[in-house]
Amino acid sequence: MSPWMNRRIFLRWLAIQLGAVAGSKFLAACSQATSLLTTAFPTSTDIPGPTSVPSAVPVEVTEGIEATRSPEITPTEVAATLASYPELAVARVGEPEKLVEAAIAALGGMERFVKSGDQVIVKPNICVAYHTYEYAATTNPWVVGALVKLCLEAGAKSVKVMDFPFGGTSEQAYIRSGIQEQVLAAGGEMEAISSFKFVETEIPEGVDLKICDIYDEVLSADVVINVPIAKDHGLARLTLGMKNLMGVIRDRPAMHRNLGQRLADLTSRVRPALTVVDAVRMLTWGGPSGGSLDAVKKMDTVIASPDIVAADSYAATLFNINPMDLSYIQAGVSMGLGRSDLGNMKIEEINIGA
């Protein structure tokens, strides 16, 4: 980001960081906003930015362009920018593509998250090569394809889709899930996981997990979009956004010791800009791999938020589970990664079929 970014770009960037990274800590009061302007915001994209916002001072003028430094952004303007968007959007009763489009539009459009020239990683759940999407073990292909399309329309330079299956190879799972077909049709690319691309990475905010081998392209991407399917899990109870991030690391068995805290620790390093939970079909038991259509509940719902903890919290309620009964949500809230107090959030719900 240029040190002399214009006011509109800065406000958009700041709104994303506050919503996705800090949640309740930054929404408590407008008086906190001044200090935020001088804080380095850690994100998965490692966006460079100024540590302060300078007053308007003329600089060299390029012919035909008036070049000035951005004027100071006031705490009131920051609060107004945040208040203009819901913290979470839920779209129901419609085709998967339309559900995605409605939820993202409610959050301010994909342009709020993806800028021209960005390299984007979309991370769905493509955990096994055994079942088609109807079995609700893998993310709905049309949900993924719609996100790829929106990213490219927002100006993304590239959109790569990837996961690290535990059942079958990446290539087999990509085809069997139906995701590859929709991604390629939308203009995206499928990234075949390479063992050589995992990089030993420190996790500065980690409470228990301090170092982990994370996929290099996830670390270097400008934007990471997390697209889990809402489903049952024998150990974690539910696989949602935070649990879905296990697909970007090499050693998943090591995560199972103190799973909830370690998922929150991993989230603190990866930090998706956007989490979109696919609840078009939910797997209600037999997860994570599924295998019985009797376990599938068709909900025709998509949940989207820059706050991964909020997205997971709302998704948990679809299973009649209190969000704070999930250990990773507890840990995420404790670490300030997001919010679970749904009753105090600005949530926009759209019923497309109404």
* 1 within some domain: no
Better-predicted residue by pLDDT, 173 or 63: 173
- Chain-wide mean pLDDT for the chain? 81
* 310 within some domain: yes
Say yes or no: 145 and 216 in one domain. yes
Identify the CATH number of the domain in which residue 271 sits.
3.40.50.11440
Q: How many Å separate Cα 87 from the centre of its chain? A: 13
Q: What is the pTM of this model?
A: 0.78
Contact 280, 260 (CB under 8 A): no
Distance in angstroms (rounded) separating the CA atoms of residues 120 and 158 = 6
Distance in angstroms (rounded) separating the CA atoms of residues 151 and 332 = 27
Hey, what amino acid is at 144?
V
The pair phi, psi for residue 52, each rounded to 5°, is -155, 160
Contact 221, 120 (CB under 8 A): yes
**Domain coverage including residue 172:** 86-351
Say yes or no: 92 and 77 in one domain. no
At which of 28, 59, 82 does a domain end? Answer: 82
Give the DSSP letter of residue 72.
P
Hey, what are 302's tokens? Answer: 């998509």
At which of 61, 82, 103 does a domain end? Answer: 82
Give per-residue pLDDT as tens, 200-244: 999 999 999 999 999 999 999 999 999 999 999 878 789 999 999
Ordered DSSP codes for 62-101? PTT---BPPPPPPHHHHHHHHHTS-SEEEEESS-HHHHHH
Is pLDDT above 60 for 332? yes
CA angle 306, 339, 142 (to 5 degrees): 35
pLDDT number for residue 170: 82
Hey, what are 133's tokens? Answer: 């999407």
Say yes or no: 213 and 65 in one domain. no
* 2 within some domain: no
Say yes or no: 211 and 319 in one domain. yes
Domain count, the chain: 2
Give per-residue pLDDT as tens, 153-172: 999 999 999 998 887 788 88
pLDDT number for residue 233: 84
pLDDT number for residue 353: 82
At which of 38, 54, 82 does a domain end? Answer: 82
* 196 within some domain: yes
Say yes or no: 73 and 91 in one domain. no
